[in-house]
């Protein structure tokens, strides 16, 4: 890989890790809010607060999904910049042949499942 391609590939790989960290942090925080507010929700709660919380859950998870999906897409694109003389290396072949579509689908499924779980907890 050229130094320029290595730089951008490394930046976007770090971006995916940071995006995952924010995903975990934000959803644990939202789950904590659900757990602490359980008494309010159980005693009838305010449907307006529930709707506002649902909007936050959907919005935060949608933005985090976009962040992580675009990062994975850019890391995949960095495989096209591997220099010809490095393409035959085993590590290059593993990187090029990684299941990028599966990673993106898993991120979408996990994000949707976490958001759905939080929404279920609030509205059930």
Phi/psi of residue 65, each to 5°? -65, -45
- Encode pLDDT of 56-112 as tens digits: 999 999 999 999 999 999 999 988 888 888 889 999 899 999 999 999 999 999 999
Stretch (H or E) spanning 29: helix 3-36
User: pLDDT value at position 5?
Assistant: 63
- Encode pLDDT of 41-64 as tens digits: 555 567 888 888 999 999 999 999
End-to-end C-alpha distance for the chain, whole angstroms = 52
| C-alpha–C-alpha distance, residues 30 and 21, integer Å | 14
Tokens of 101: 């579509």
């Amino acid at each position: 890989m050229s130094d320029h391609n290595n730089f951008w590939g490394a930046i976007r790989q770090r971006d995916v890790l940071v995006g995952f960290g924010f995903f975990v942090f934000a959803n644990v925080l939202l789950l904590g809010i659900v757990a602490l507010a359980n008494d309010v929700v159980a005693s009838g709660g305010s449907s307006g607060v529930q709707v506002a919380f649902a909007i936050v859950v959907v919005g935060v998870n949608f933005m985090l999904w976009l962040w992580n999906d675009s990062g994975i897409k850019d890391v995949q694109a960095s495989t096209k910049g591997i220099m010809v003389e490095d393409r035959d290396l085993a590590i290059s072949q593993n990187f090029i042949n990684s299941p990028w579509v599966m990673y993106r689908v898993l991120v979408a499924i996990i994000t949707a499942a976490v958001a759905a779980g939080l929404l279920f907890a609030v509205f059930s």
